[in-house]
Structure formats: structure tokens, C-alpha cells
Amino acid sequence: MSLRPTVLKLAASAVVMGTLTAACGNNGLSASSTCQQFMNAPAADQQAAIDRLATQYNKPDYADPLGAPEVPYYCASNPDVTLGQFFSQAQG
């Protein structure tokens, strides 16, 4: 009986868990995420992405409670547009 397969399985598990944890740390949504990915994400992740990208693109109106609903409204009709494209063209 060898420990080698067990050690390899543990190492592979650690790599997978590290990748998943890193992805969850920033909710997985970024400027390169599509509107479809945005619409499929949980509401808390959507809001975190809006807040982060509104700051990054200097669009403070979208971080406002009245402006934030414009993102899912737009994304519902434009699933292939990236969030970066939306924010770079957005007024506000």
C-alpha cells in the first residue's frame, strides 16, 4: 500500500479548492463577464459587481439604489454584452 495516490489526491483537492475560493472571493463577476453571466449570478454578487464597476468606470450613479436596477434591465435584453462594455458606454 502506497501513500503516493493519497498524497496526489490531496494535492489535487487543495488546488481545486484554492481556485474555487479565489473565484468566490470577488464573486466571479468582472468587466469581462457577460450580461448573461451577470443575470445568472445571485443578487448579492450582482450588486457587488455593480458597486465595484461603477467605481472603476467612474459612474457613481449606478452604485446609487435608483441607478443599480438599470444594469439588469439592460442586461436582460443584451446577454452578449460585457459588463465593461456596458459601463464604458453608460451615462452617469
Q: How many Cβ atoms from other residues are within 10 Å of residue 53's Cβ? A: 23
Task: Write down the mean pLDDT value for the chain.
Answer: 82
Q: Assess whether pLDDT exceeds 60 at residue 58.
A: yes
Q: Assess whether pLDDT exceeds 70 at residue 3.
A: no
Distance between terminal CA atoms of the chain? Answer: 65
C-alpha cell recorded at residue 11: 494535492
C-alpha cell recorded at residue 21: 475560493
Overall pTM > 0.95: no
Question: Which pLDDT score is estimated for 91?
Answer: 83
Domain ranges of the chain: 27-89
Question: Which pLDDT score is estimated for 9?
Answer: 56
The SS3 of residue 34 is strand
Question: Which pLDDT score is estimated for 86?
Answer: 97
State mean pLDDT over 2-15. 51
The predicted-structure confidence for 25-55, as pLDDT tens digits, reads as follows 456 999 999 999 999 999 999 999 999 999 9
C-alpha cell recorded at residue 87: 459601463
